Amino acid sequence: MDRIASALNNEPNTVTGIAMHIVADENIPLLDEFFGEFGRLTRLPGRLIDQTALGDADVLLVRSVTRVSAAMLAGTPVRFVGTCTIGTDHLDLPGLAAAGIEVASAPGCNARGVVEYVLSCLLTFAEQSATPWQDRTVGIIGVGEVGGRLAAVLQALGVKTLLCDPPLAEQGREGLIELDELIAHSDVISCHVPLTREGPHPTWHLLDGRRLERLRPGTWLINSSRGPVIDNQALSAVLGQRPDLLVALDVWETEPLVDPALAARCRLATPHIAGYSLDGKLRGTAQIYQALCRFLDRPASLALEQLAPRSGAGQWQLEPGTPPDWALTRALRLVYDVRDDDARLRAMLNRVQDEQESREGFDRLRKEYPLRRECNLLRVVTAASEPQLARRLLAAGFDLGG
């Protein structure tokens, strides 16, 4: 901390002779805008950040692909690690705490993007099965930042939801059920849990072969949390026997390597981009900037509202008499269509020649991800005589312009 403080006071860094050095994942947006004032920035691919790269670094900023442990930081001056993501399973939290290293994450930053990913999966499965998605019972596993927001949106749209979250149940949260009960009564299952291997409620292979075999006929299964939450080998075997199941996987047990056989059996397959809206990534950067300012005991002089771009925002005007369900579907598709990401991943898998090319292709899809904004950036103009339409659009998160 003394070294970081001296750098910010423009005193020479005793090791490098320069101001604070920040090493960051190259896929974090607005790095210069938020962190340029602190000193020198070094951008690296997330999977290539290692101990060697941190030899004179004071701060490390990562996303979910970089695993950070106390051993990795041993012998480096790093005293602050910020992950611009909602999850922290890639961080050795106990080890970093024992080493006296401050850790910050960005809870909830990409929750809205994941909600819109799930909604797009529901729209697609409804089209593929000729079944109205709003008539199905959606079981949500994990009711934290993402699962809780998904439940709120679905309930506002009139969709029946079942909720499972053992840690919250132990804290006295009402309205929660056991996982096996949720599986028995859900037409759709969406996973939103962190990845844990130990403790009273581990989530590694939470959906194992036994539970997958007990899915109701015609179940829609969506995983946008962490790959190993579902036993991928067991899932592939079950799908080989159960063509009635519709599965969307955004996360993979062996990523960045995707099992092409499993991908072929999934109705939707995407490269870990459920929360990859620009807005979610921008919020993550802003939250870590604020956390670093608190760590350094200095005021935050920048706000996301000052820096966020408007590109991708727009307006859509609906004429009186527009059917509410049609308008909701079209509006959601305008903002995000999961079928585009599914097509890009499948094209990559069909093109590569070996596992190394597949890994590189997976990371390239994430690095070169196209512009994607969230529902609130699309203003939908409706007639004052259409209150039902307005209620549905507001429930889904669209801006109706007051």
Residue 255 known to be catalytic: yes
Q: Spot the catalytic one: 63, 79, 112, 226.
A: 226
Nearest-angstrom CA–CA distance, 143 and 307: 31
- Catalytic residue of the set 255, 265, 344, 374: 255
Q: Annotated catalytic residue: which of 149, 272, 366, 373?
A: 272
Q: Is 199 left (phi over 0), alpha (psi -120 to 50) or beta?
A: left
149 contact partners, CB below 8 Å, separation of at least 6: 108, 111, 112, 115
Q: Is 226 a catalytic residue?
A: yes
Pick from 248, 316, 307: nearest CA to 278: 307
Active-site residue numbers? 226, 255, 272
